[in-house]
Chains A and B, each alone.
Chain A
Amino acid sequence: MLAILAVLCAVAGFALTYFLPGITVPFGDQEYLSLAALAGLDSLVGGIRAGTEGKFQSTVFISGFVMNTLLAVFLAYLGERLGQDIGLAALVLLGGRTFVNLSIIRRHWLEGRMIGQSASTAGGS
């Protein structure tokens, strides 16, 4: 199913970069990389939430993914240039949005299950 395939792709990508010895990143750029990963995770979770609400749009999702990761890295770089840790703001907000979206997804999913259960009990009785 779609979700399982998507997770498989993510795991494949993870394994590819983790276990191949050739691909490395200089130590100084590590914080940008983790910020980009978090931005990607946030847009992915946002896309899933849009899907549960029925408002999913592929163009919005894909463009959001790409732009968020690039923007997060740019913000962190800008922060380092200016002397202020602007990456911290990006980190906090991305994490916050991930949590909010996750709870919305969870609520939709649970509501759907409860509606289904009450419908089945109503139909059964």
Chain B
Amino acid sequence: MALFLATPRSEAKPKSEDRSWWISLFILCAILGGLFGLSFKTQNAIRHNELPSGNYAGLAQAYQVLKKSNDADRGTIGDLQLNIGKLEQALGAHPGQQQVLEDQLKGLRFQAGLTAVTGPGLIVTLNDSKKRFPDEPASVQMQYIIHDVDINQVVNELKAAGAEAIAVNDQRIIGMSPIRCAGPTIFVNNVPETPPYVIRAVGDAKTLQDAMNLAGGVVAGFSLDPAMIAVAKSDSMLLPAYQGPTESKYARPVNDLRSHSRSLSAG
């Protein structure tokens, strides 16, 4: 390294320039060190946070185990809800106040989506396009597949048009129902569903149909391939009850709103 300074430069340089290039050298070294530090840190973070992309076998096995326990849990939930229904019926055998309570409970469960319903309404079927474009890039091919946003849009429009109960394939949609893409599958109520997606909504069939056919609305959005969406009225449909978990871990009911807000402002 002593050679670096001792070797005579091939051209004479003014003194002021000598001083400044040291400084720029130091600054550049600091920048280089900074770049390396950032790279190291980000790479560490990436390794920390992302799933091990190579270990598909392990992930697949974990998925199978979870799926099995999930199905078992769903069975348990169904049994428990049946049990609850039986207990409520037994309670209703005592006349008087219990009957009033039971009627109110039935009405609430109906509104919450915990009972099967029947009625007239609309059936909207969403399906992936039959057209195939193998030469197009992925971004174009994606436009010919049904995504969770499409189902969400249809459900939202139906709700806005006054649907009283909505089901996607065999899953009843309640207030907290998620509809979400994970890879090639759409999960409704965290249950995987495959196309065609049959969305049934109980309500005034004419109003619901008009909502679908609004200018710039749902049906217009499928202009690339209109065969992806089909809308049909129905005189009578059966929608299943919501079968997912209903327990609440974080939300607690507030019985008296005034005293609750008083206690909040006091604390």
Contacts and interface: CB of A to CB of B under 8 A. Distances in A.
A44 B32 contact: yes
Contacts, number: 124
A36 B27 CA distance: 16
Interface residues of A, number: 45
A27 B20 CA distance: 36
Contact of A41 (B9, B32, B40): B32
Interface stretch (A55-63, A74-82, A88-96, A117-125): A55-63
A18 B42 contact: no
Contacts of B25: 2, 6, 47, 58, 61
Interface string B1-26: 10111011111000001001110111
Classify chain B: how many residues form its interface, as a range: 35 or more
Nearest to B35: A37
A69 B46 CA distance: 23
A40 B39 contact: no
Contacts of B46: 27, 30
Contact of A13 (B1, B3, B34): B34
A69 B32 CA distance: 10
A52 B1 CA distance: 8
Contacts of B248: none
Given A13-B32, A16-B34, A52-B7, A34 B39 contact: yes
A25 B10 contact: no
Given A13-B32, A40-B32, A58-B24, A25 B3 contact: no
Interface in A22-80: 23-25, 27, 30, 33-34, 36-37, 40-41, 44, 47-48, 51-58, 61-62, 65, 69
Contacts of B36: 10, 13-14, 37, 41
B212 to A, nearest CB: 38
A103 interface: no
Given A2-B22, A52-B3, A17 B32 contact: no
Nearest to B9: A54
9 contacts: A6-B29, A13-B32, A33-B35, A37-B35, A37-B39, A40-B28, A40-B35, A52-B4, A58-B20
A12 B30 contact: yes
Closest 4 CB pairs of A and B: A13-B33, A58-B21, A17-B37, A10-B33
Contacts of B30: 9-10, 12-13, 16
A11 B33 contact: yes
A55 B40 contact: no
B72 interface: no
B38 to A, nearest CB: 5
B140 interface: no
* Most chain B C-beta atoms within 10 Å of own C-beta, residue among A1, A11, A54: A54
B43 interface: yes
A101 B49 CA distance: 37
B4 A36 contact: no
B32 A48 contact: no
